[in-house]
Amino acid sequence: MSAEAQTSSEYILHHLTNMTYGKLPAGSYCDGTQVLARESWTLAHCDEQIQQMGFFAIHLDSMGWAITLGLVFSFLFARVARKAATNSGAPTGLQNIIEMVIEFVDGTVNDIFHQKNRLIAPMALTIFVWIFMMNLMDLLPVDWLPQAAGILSGNSHIFMKVVPTTDPNVTLGMSFTVFGLMLFFSIREKGLIGFIKELTLHPFHAPKWYVNVFLVPVNLVLETVSLIAKPISLGLRLFGNMYAGEMIFILIAIMFGAGMFLFPLAGVLQWAWAVFHILIITLQAFVFMMLTIVYMSMAHDVSEEH
């Protein structure tokens, strides 16, 4: 915990607040004290300023770590691919691990997605590895990177969340991207008319057209709700699980500062939760990948005639 006096609630709130950059109006305040004389773009220093920034604020920590981990992923896989192309010997070390991951993802795609689209397997691999790497940041001690950011910036109160998947903007951003691709492929494969029929003639359909006049509005409401629920549930499932895991790590960190009696217990709990969390971060990446493949398969499915 911070060297300054800080309550447990303040400690939790600080660790769960993003480094937010946005436009603040003149007269902006923190804890009731005015801190800006004129309108400007700046970092938020408190929760009140984050609220004042509104929708167009950017979470620099989530964006920064997500992009950095994406570049690390691209660099490692590109390096291994070049090495595999020039080396005819048996793979070792990192190359072995990456080839196992690729074979696992490729096998999963082949089991679920039976249509032809060369984008699906690379997309599934990217989703699985990228989400896994972002989730993996949750295993770092909760104070290390925030304290390092405070030292480098000279501001010990700077906000820094290091797990991008604990930010709903990141998880929902990924899920709505998948949703956009799902709509695109649905319309491309089935045609606009076929896509509209899918929304209006399911789940209820009658052979008589005048009966369908009454069923179409009901079908449209049910199918639209089901369609919109897909990206929302996909993003919120990942966010909820990772946010809960991060909260537990923060609560365990508080125990370290609660006295010598709780210090050994905190150490045991931290180790046990970290080991169990390895399964969670892997499972959440796998679930997101699996559902993405399923949604892409549904988008390409044109076997039914309406």
The confidence score (pLDDT) of residue 303 equals 64
Secondary structure of residue 163 in the 3-state scheme:
coil
Q: What percent of the chain has pLDDT over 70?
A: 96
The confidence score (pLDDT) of residue 4 equals 52
191: left (phi over 0), alpha (psi -120 to 50) or beta: left
| pLDDT for 253 beyond 50 | yes
Q: Which is more confidently placed, 306 or 155? A: 155
> Considering the domain boundaries, does residue 272 fall inside one?
yes
> Considering the domain boundaries, does residue 305 fall inside one?
no
> Considering the domain boundaries, does residue 39 fall inside one?
yes
Among 223, 218, 230, CA closest to 294: 230
> Considering the domain boundaries, does residue 210 fall inside one?
yes
> Considering the domain boundaries, does residue 2 fall inside one?
no
Among 26, 284, 256, 28, CA closest to 170: 284
Q: What is the pTM of this model?
A: 0.91
> Considering the domain boundaries, does residue 99 fall inside one?
yes
Question: What mean pLDDT comes out for the span 13-32?
Answer: 88
pLDDT tens digits, residue range 173-187?
Answer: 999 999 999 999 999
271 in Cβ contact with 139 (< 8 Å): no
> Considering the domain boundaries, does residue 28 fall inside one?
yes
Count up the domains in the chain and report the number: 1
The confidence score (pLDDT) of residue 5 equals 58
pLDDT tens digits, residue range 215-228?
Answer: 889 999 999 999 99
| Residue numbers annotated as active site | 233, 237, 241
pLDDT tens digits, residue range 92-137?
Answer: 788 899 999 999 999 999 999 999 999 999 999 999 999 999 999 9
Supply the range of the domain harboring residue 106: 8-300
| Cis amide linkage into residue 203, ω under 30° from 0 | yes
